[in-house]
Amino acid sequence: MITSISRINDTHRVIPGELDMPKRLLLGPGPSNADPRVLEALSAAPVGHLDPTFIELMNEVQTLLRYAWQTDNHLTIPVSATGSAAMEATMANSVEPGDVVLVGAIGYFGHRLIDMAGRYGGDVRKMTKPWGEVFNIAEIRQGLETHRPSVLALVHAETSTGARQPLEGVGDLCREYNCLLVLDTVTSLGGVPLFLDEWGVDLAFSCSQKGLSCPPGIAPFTMSPRAVEKLQRRQVQVSNWYLDMSLVSKYWGSDRTYHHTAPINMNYALREGLRLLAQEGLEARWERHQANAELLWEGLDSLGLQCHVEREFRLPTLTTVRIPSGVDGKAVTKHLLADYNLEIGGGLGELAGQVWRIGLMGFNSDRKNVELLLDALETVLAKPEVKK
Mean pLDDT score across all residues of the chain: 96
Domains in the chain, number: 2
Residues 187 and 361: their CA atoms lie apart, in Å, by 8
The mean per-residue pLDDT over the stretch 304-314 comes to 98
Distance CA 386, CA 388 (A): 7
CATH number at residue 136: 3.40.640.10
Determine the pLDDT at residue 4.
60
102 DSSP β-pair partners:
125, 152
CA distances from 42 to 81, 251, 273, 288 (A): 16, 22, 10, 25
- Looking at the domain assignment, is residue 11 inside a domain? no
Helix, strand, coil distribution of the chain in percent, nearest 5: 40, 15, 40
pLDDT at 3 over 90: no
Q: Residues 259, 210, 327, CA angle at the centre, nearest 5°?
A: 135
Assigned domain for 6 exists: no
Is residue 1 in a domain?
Answer: no
Report the range of poorest mean pLDDT among 126-140, 155-169, 192-206, 247-261. Answer: 247-261
First to last CA, the chain: 67
Q: Is the domain of 241 the same as that of 314?
A: no
Q: Are residues 268 and 294 both part of a single domain?
A: no
pLDDT in tens, 90-132: 999 999 999 999 999 999 999 999 999 999 999 999 999 999 9
- Lowest-confidence pick of 2-6, 93-97, 285-289, 327-331: 2-6
CA atoms within 13 A on the CB side of 299: 20
| Domain membership flag for residue 346 | yes
Q: Are residues 295 and 242 in the same domain?
A: no
In contact, 19 and 351? CB cutoff 8 Å? no
Domain range for 210 is 36-278
Q: What is the mean pLDDT of residues 14-29?
A: 94
Res 6: pLDDT:
67
Q: Are 354 and 330 in contact (CB under 8 A)?
A: no
Q: What is the pTM of this model?
A: 0.95
Residue 307 clears pLDDT 60, i.e. is over it: yes
Same domain, 186 and 231: yes
* pLDDT tens per residue, range 38-78: 999 999 999 999 899 999 999 999 999 999 999 999 999 99
Residue-wise pLDDT tens digits, 198-242 = 999 999 999 999 999 999 999 999 999 999 999 999 999 999 999
Interatomic CA distance for residues 249 and 58, integer angstroms: 12
- Measured between alpha carbons, how far is 118 from 349 in angstroms, rounded to an integer? 20
Residues 217 and 93 in one domain: yes
Please give the pLDDT value at position 255. Answer: 84
Question: Strand, helix or coil at 204?
Answer: strand
Which of 230, 261, 278 is the C-terminal boundary of a domain?
Answer: 278
Q: Do 136 and 197 belong together in one domain?
A: yes
Domain shared by 201 and 149, yes or no: yes
pLDDT of residue 388: 84
| pLDDT at residue 378 tops 80 | yes
Do 153 and 268 share a structural domain? yes
Q: How far is CA 355 from the centre of its chain?
A: 20
- pLDDT above 70 covers a percentage of the chain that reads 98
d(CA 101, CA 113): 10
Q: Which of 229, 262, 278 is the last residue of a domain?
A: 278
Structure confidence at residue 1 as a pLDDT band (50, 70, 90): low
What pLDDT is stored for residue 8 in this prediction? 82
Residue 287 confidence class, pLDDT cut points 50, 70, 90:
very high
Residue 5: the pLDDT is: 61
Cα of 340 vs its chain's centroid, Å: 26
Label each residue of 232-255 as H, E or C: HCCCCCCCCCCCCHHHHHHHHCCC
Q: What is the pLDDT of residue 281?
A: 98
pLDDT at 244 over 80: yes
Is the Cβ–Cβ distance between 77 and 98 less than 8 Å? no
7 within some domain = no
Partners of 151 in beta bridges: 101, 180
